[in-house]
A and B are shown apart, each in its own frame.
Chain A
C-alpha cells in the first residue's frame, strides 16, 4: 500500500535521508530503528508530506503523491494517521475536541464524527476523561489521546514517531499495549519508529534499520536484529542482552505467527497489560 523509493533529504550539509527505499503492505507493521538523528522522524514527516524532500518518490495505494497540492494533499494526509513523540495536542481543546478535530474538519457529519471520536477514546481507555484538558492529564494519557486522534480518522496507515520516548517508564506499557492491540487487529498498516526492542521483535512484521539517513538492514525482525553483522545490529543485540538478560531470544513474529497463539504472544511482551477490548 505504501512504497517509498530513493527518498533523499538534506538539511544543509547534513544528510537526513539518503536514498531510502522500502514498502509496507496493507495491515503490515513495520518497525524503523536506528540511532538518534539517523533520519527516522524525517522519514515519517516526509511520508505524510510534512517536510519537502529533495528527491525520491512515494506511492500510496498505487498512486504517486509527491505532486499533490492543496485539497488533494490534505485528503492524502487524512488517510494517514500520525502519532507524535510529544503528543502535540491542542492545549485549549479537551480530549474529545482534540480527537474530533480531524473527522469534523474532514467533512464527516458531526454526529458520526462524535461517535468515531468516542469509539477511539474508548479504544485507548480514555472515554471517561473525554472532557479533560491535556494540561490535567498524565503523559501516558496525553499520548493515548494522540493515538485516539489518529484512530478517529480511520486511517489506512498510522505513522508512530517514537510514541514512548517522551514518557515516564511507568507509562510506557499503556502505550505499547495500545500499539500491540492495533497491530494485532491488522486493519491498519503501521510504521513505528521505536527503540523498544521487544516490541519490534514480537509485534513488527518487518524491521528497517537506518544509519546516517540510509537503510542498512531490512527484513524479519529476528533476522535483521540478531542475524545482521552491521554495527547497529551488534549494538542492538548488546543492548537487548543488557536490558532483558541472557541471550535467549524470543521468536520473531512473522516466522511463527501461525504457530503461536495470541495469548502466547501477549505474554512475551514485557510488562504488557490487557485493558483493551479486542
Chain B
C-alpha cells in the first residue's frame, strides 16, 4: 500500500504537500504580521514614536499626583517645551516619560538631570531611553574613557554622556546607531578584565609581587595580549552587600525582638501601676529602654535610606530596557484585565508614630498621680501594633540571600584586577594564576564592558522573538489541522494490512506513524521557512513530534474501513484508486478531498 503514490496518486500527494505548505505559511505569516503590528502599536502607545521621549522619571506613588505636577514644572524650568506623558504605575511608582526639546538634548542636560530632580518629593530615579543610542554598560572605570574617545572619533555620533558605570553614545540617526554599535562592539571585544580573588587579606607588597608575576607569566604565555595591573582592594559590590548585611544583622538579631519585649514590659508595668503607684520607677525604666530602642531604630532607618539612595542611583542609571519591559508587561497585563492596576506600596514601620507615642506616655507618666491608666494601656497597645509588619524570621532570610549574593560575587576578601588587551578570550585564567599565585581563591576573565542597543531596539529584538513564537504557534496549529483533515487519513490507510484484512502489525503501524511525523516536519518546516524568521529548525522538530503523535492515533482519529479497502482490492483496484474513490471521499473535508475531486471517476460515470 505504500506504493499508492506509484499507483497514480502521486500527483495529489505532491499537490497536497505544496498547498499545505503554502496555506500554513500564509496562516503563520499572517499571524506573525498581526502580532508584529500589535506589539509595535503597544510599544508606540507606551513610549511614543522613535525619539519622542528621552527619559523615564520614577516617582513614588505615596508622593501623590502633586509630585507629577511638580515634576512637570521643574522640567519646564530646566528645559522649556519638554513633552511629558504619564505611563503605567508599577510597584508603587509613577513612571513619567519626558522628551526634551532638541536644543536641550545634549550631554550637559542628561548628566545634570538627576541632580536637578533629586530633591523632588518622591523622586525615585531616572531611566534613560534616549534614541537612537548605543549603551556601553557596566564599563570598567579603567576603560570607560576609551569608549568615550572611540565614540567621539565617529562622525555618526552626536554626543555621549555618562551616568554611573554606563556611557550613552547618541547617534545622528537610527541607521548610524547600528554602525556605531558595531564599532563599539569591536572595541569592547578587544578589552577584557582578569579578576583574581583571594580568600583573606594581603599586604600591598604581596599584591604588587603577585601582580608582577601575573604580568610576566602572561607576557610569556600570551605575547599577543597586553596585560596591565589595574589595582587591588575589596570588591565594590561586595562592600555594598556587606553593608546591607551588617544593617540587616543589627535589625534581625536584636532590635525588633528587643523592642517588642520592651513594649510588652511597658504595657505590663503600666497595667500594674494602675493598681499601685509605687512602681512608677519601673515604668520609667521600661519607657527609657523603649526610647533607646526607638532611637536605635531611627539610626538604622537613616542608614537604610542612605543605602537605598546609593542603590537607587546605580539602578536609575541603567539603560532603561528593564524598566520599559516591566512597564510594557504591566500595560499589556492591565489591557488584558480591562483596566490599569496600581501596585500597593510596601508596609513600613512608623517611627514617628512610635516617638510620639513615647512622648505621650512620658507626659502621662509625669502626671501619674492623677493618671487614668486605661488610655495609657491603649497607647502602649497601639505602639505594639506598629511593629506588626515585622515578621519573625524575615531578617534571617534576607541575610541568607545576601550571603549567597556575596558568594556569587566571589566571596569576601581582596581582589586584584588586570586589563587584558587583545584576544582575551584565549586566556585561561586558572592556569595563568596558578603559576603566579597558588593561593588565589578564584580567577576569571570577563568583558570590560557590554554593548547594548537603545531600549526600543532591545525591546524590538525581544518582541521579534515573541512574534516568532506567535508565528510558530499559528503555523503549528494550521499544520496540525491540515494533518488531521488530510494526512491522517492516508496514515490510517497505510496502517492497514496490505490485503485489507485489518490493522497491520505494530512495526508497520510504527513505520506509518514515523512517515506521518516526517510529513508534518517537512510541511511545517517548509512553511516556517517560507513565512520568514529563523524558526524553521524548531518547526522541523515540533512538526515531527506533533505529526508522529497524531499519526500514532490515526486509526482512532480517522479510521479507514478495512472492509471497503478489501472490497476495492477484490475488484482489482490499485492503492491510488482505492484512496481516490473509496478512502479519501469518506474522510474529513480538507485540501485532499478538494484535490481528489478532480481525479474521481465514479460519481461522473454514474451521472452519464
Which A residues form the contact surface with B (CB < 8 A)? 45, 48, 50-52, 71, 74-78, 80, 82, 84, 86, 88-94, 96-97, 100-102, 104-106, 110-111, 113-114, 149, 153
Contact = CB atoms under 8 A, between A and B. Distances in A.
A78 B563 contact: no
Contact of A104 (B500, B574, B585, B601): B601
B570 A48 contact: yes
A82 B585 CA distance: 23
Contact of B570 (A82, A92, A110, A113): A82
B577 interface: yes
Given A90-B564, A90-B582, A97 B608 contact: no
B131 to A, nearest CB: 63
Given A50-B566, A89-B567, A97 B573 contact: no
Contacts of B581: 90, 101, 105
Nearest to B567: A88
A114 B608 contact: yes
Nearest to B586: A92
Contact of B501 (A50, A74, A90, A97): A50
Given A50-B499, A90-B582, A97 B602 contact: yes
B602 A93 contact: yes
A86 B563 contact: yes
B570 A50 contact: yes
Q: Is the interface of B mostly helix, strand, loop or mixed?
A: helix
Given A45-B501, A50-B569, A105-B601, A91 B608 contact: no
A248 to B, nearest CB: 40
26 contacts: A50-B501, A50-B566, A50-B569, A71-B574, A74-B573, A76-B572, A77-B570, A80-B570, A82-B570, A84-B570, A86-B563, A88-B564, A90-B581, A90-B582, A90-B586, A91-B561, A91-B564, A94-B606, A100-B606, A102-B571, A104-B602, A105-B573, A110-B608, A114-B606, A149-B567, A153-B571
B605 A110 contact: yes
Contact size class for B?
Answer: 20 to 34
Nearest to B603: A97
Interface in B555-608: 561, 563-564, 566-574, 577, 581-582, 585-586, 601-606, 608
Contact of B572 (A52, A84, A93, A106): A106
Q: Which 8 A-B pairs have the closest CB atoms?
A: A78-B572, A102-B571, A82-B570, A77-B572, A88-B567, A88-B563, A74-B572, A110-B605
A105 B563 contact: no
A66 B194 CA distance: 81
Contacts of B574: 71, 74
Residue of B500, B561, B586, B605 with highest tally of chain A CB at under 10 A: B605
B237 to A, nearest CB: 74
A29 to B, nearest CB: 20
A106 B567 CA distance: 14
Contacts of B603: 97
A75 to B, nearest CB: 7
Nearest to A76: B572
Interface string B333-347: 000000000000000
A87 to B, nearest CB: 8
Contacts of A92: 585-586
Residue from the set B501, B561, B570 with the largest chain A CB neighbour count within 10 Å:
B570
Interface string B140-166: 000000000000000000000000000
A88 to B, nearest CB: 4
Contacts of B602: 93, 97, 100-101, 104
Nearest to B501: A51
Contacts of B582: 90, 101
Contacts of A80: 570
A10 B565 CA distance: 23
A71 B155 CA distance: 78
Contacts of A71: 574
Given A45-B501, A89-B564, A110-B608, 15 more contacts: A50-B499, A50-B569, A74-B573, A88-B564, A97-B603, A100-B606, A101-B571, A101-B573, A104-B602, A104-B605, A106-B572, A110-B601, A114-B605, A149-B567, A153-B572
Most chain-B Cβ atoms within 10 A of its Cβ — which of A52, A80, A104, A106?
Answer: A104
Contacts of B499: 45, 50-52
B570 A105 contact: no
Contacts of B561: 91
Contacts of A110: 601, 604-605, 608
B606 A77 contact: no
Contacts of B572: 74-78, 102, 105-106, 153
A183 to B, nearest CB: 21
A193 B499 CA distance: 20
A105 B604 CA distance: 12
Contacts of B501: 45, 50-51
A101 B564 contact: no
Nearest to B601: A104
A78 B572 CA distance: 5
B568 A101 contact: yes
A50 B567 contact: no
A84 B571 CA distance: 12
B571 A149 contact: yes
